[in-house]
Structure 1
Amino acid sequence: MAHKIGVIGDKYSVMPFKLFGFDVCYGMSARQIRDSIEQMAAEDYGVIFITEEASEQVSETINRYRSRIQPAIILIPSNAGSKGIGKKAVQKNVEKAIGQNIL
């Protein structure tokens, strides 16, 4: 069974993902972002990409899903550039998996 992929963030950052067939939710208020995550999780999305800016508004919601296998919530930079939050999360997960930071 193939799982769907969703993308959440501001319109200009996530619109290009529609070209790849991903489901896109534009949301800039914390409530819109939280509701989009909850809806995608309930609909068995395998991966949810969310811009770093959007993730900062709903960190408690994202943290609830960190221990679950699905959906995987991946932070991505917005069209304004990276804040380094996503990279730090990847480094942390790599270090946890292999015991040291190789990035």
Structure 2
Amino acid sequence: MHKVAVIGDYDSIYGFSALGLDTFPVTDVTEAAHLLRKIAAGEYAIIYITEMLAKQLSAEIEKYREQMVPAIILIPGVKGNTGDGVKGVKDCVEQAIGSDIVFGKE
């Protein structure tokens, strides 16, 4: 059975454990890169990662972009929303259907 993981700073992810998700708080980028590789090689089908951390791990995350599993989904953290998560979903939908789904101003 596949699992769901959440990676990021403690303050941003601790609430996800109440939902039954496996949380992995990290304090530095090197630790996070190692953890991401370990989790992606395991039983995790979905990995949520805070936008700020994902920005620092963009090269590592890119390695998984063309794979079905794991799906790496960006979420906002307590230190702010970069908009990368929403942009990623928008880009995926646009690629899948061939059209932009947002009308009006961005």
Alignment TM class, shorter chain as reference: over 0.9
Aligned to 2:6: 7
SS at structure 2 position matched to 1:50: strand
Where in structure 1 do 4 or more consecutive aligned residues deviate above 4 Å?
none
Percent of aligned pairs with the same amino acid:
39
Assess if the C-alpha contact under 8 Å between 1:8 and 1:26 holds in 2.
yes
CA offset digits 1:40-81 (Å, max 9, x no partner):
111120000000011011101100000111000000000233
The aligned amino acid for 1:49 is Y
Aligned to 1:30: 29
Q: Determine which structure has the larger helix proportion and give its number.
A: 1
Q: 1:39: how far off?
A: 1.0
The aligned amino acid for 2:44 is Y
Tell me the distance in 2 between the aligned counterparts of 1:55 and 1:80: 13
CA offset digits 1:19-55 (Å, max 9, x no partner):
0111111113111111111111111200000000110
If the length of structure 2 is used for normalisation, what is the TM-score?
0.92
Aligned to 1:40: 39
Aligned to 2:78: 79
Q: 5+ residue gaps in structure 1?
A: none
SS at structure 2 position matched to 1:78: coil
Q: 1:82: how far off?
A: 1.3
Tell me the distance in 1 between the aligned counterparts of 2:101 and 2:4: 28
SS at structure 1 position matched to 2:63: helix
Q: 5+ residue gaps in structure 2?
A: none
Structure index of larger Rg:
2
Tell me the distance in 2 between the aligned counterparts of 1:101 and 1:36: 34
